[in-house]
Amino acid sequence: MQFTAEMIAGLLGGEVVGNKDATVATVSSIDGGKAGSLAYLTNPKYEQYIYTTEASIVLVDKTFEPKDEVKTTLVKVDNVGQCVLNLLEMYNASRPRKTGISKLASIHEGAEVGENAYIGDFTVVESTAKLGDNVQIYPQCYIGDNVVIGEGTKLYPGVKIYEGCRVGKNCILHAGVVVGADGFGFAPKEDGTFAKIPQLGNVIIEDNVELGANTCVDRAKTDSTIVHSGVKLDNLIQVGHNVEIGSNTVMSAQVGIAGTTKIGSNCFVGGQVGFADHINIGNGCKIGSQSGIDKSVPDGEIRFGSPALAGIQYHRSFAVFKNLPDLASKVRDMEKRLIKIEEK
């Protein structure tokens, strides 16, 4: 689908500087823009590219004044970042939606499938599963017994949802996600082997949750592992059994959460953070990348490092740590001087 500069300005309440009939059919970065693409300038560091970009249209703030000749058509708007988000959502909504149920899918006669569902090749839907209206299940997915999936939810290829788990409305589960595998529960025996502890609970994923590729959410030993509404998890994240993640919390890739840990709402967690088991993280906390969280954290706190320290304490400690070689050299020099003084 193509949009003209005039159409875009009308949609965003902007003004056109240049060719109002310039057309675009895709979106690009300003430094990689090609003819027929829409780019945008949100960071002043990239202003240099606006004079060389091949993009047909560039979104800029209304306050932007070029320092050199601009060959592309500009659309000036009040808030470039928000306008880009709006356009991306519109573009995504205009893409054709997959429909129909493949003859190569295996759907148990006891399963319920809502209206306008898409189910791709080699997907398996087991007995008593319930799929809501407008769900999209891409090829090679597995939906276990008694699973419930809410309306508008999308499962990309290779997603596996074990028996008894619940997924809410308008969720997105990317390729390779596993929901409901057994939690990591084993009891040591006298002979040095381990007895498996049955994992009898399930997983509940509420509405508007997005799980990145190859993320795993383990079922609870009893009760439920819960991912509350609006949570966004990146790729390759491990959520242990009986974990609870509060609403609108965001986590970057390779986070690991050990069993029974509770994480509050509206938290921001950097990549490769590790959470110990049976701790509580308050609401609104911020955890820096590669931190090791071995203790509970109160509401609104910031943590860095491994083991993690409070934000200010971490930065003060790091300021000392990075100077340790110089400090060690000074100490050795002082020791030599002290020896000479004592000899005298």
Residues noted as catalytic = 241
Long-range contacts of 107-111 (CB under 8 A, 24+ apart): 111/143
Note the Cα 24 to chain centre separation in Å.
Answer: 29
Residue with token string 């057309």: 23
Residue 237: both structure tokens together: 């994240």
Nearest Cα neighbor of 153 from 114, 102, 196, 198 is 114
Residue 119's H or E segment, with its range, is strand 118-119
Q: Does residue 221 contact residue 239 with C-beta atoms inside 8 Å?
A: no
Q: Which helix (H) or strand (E) holds 320?
A: helix 311-321
Run of H or E including 332: helix 324-343
Q: Could you write out the DSSP letters of every residue in 69-86?
A: ---SEEEEES-HHHHHHH
280, 295 contact by CB (below 8 A): no
Spatial distance between the Cα atoms of 160 and 120, rounded to a whole number of angstroms: 14
Beta-sheet pairing, 15-17 with 73-77: antiparallel
From the CB of residue 338, how many other CB atoms can be counted at a distance below 10 Å? 10
With contact defined as beta carbons under 8 Å apart, do 37 and 56 qualify? yes
Query: Could you check whether the bond before residue 198 is cis, i.e. omega within 30 degrees of 0?
Result: no
- For residues 288 and 310, give the distance between their C-alpha atoms in angstroms, rounded to a whole number: 10
Rounded Cα distance, 114 and 311, in Å: 49
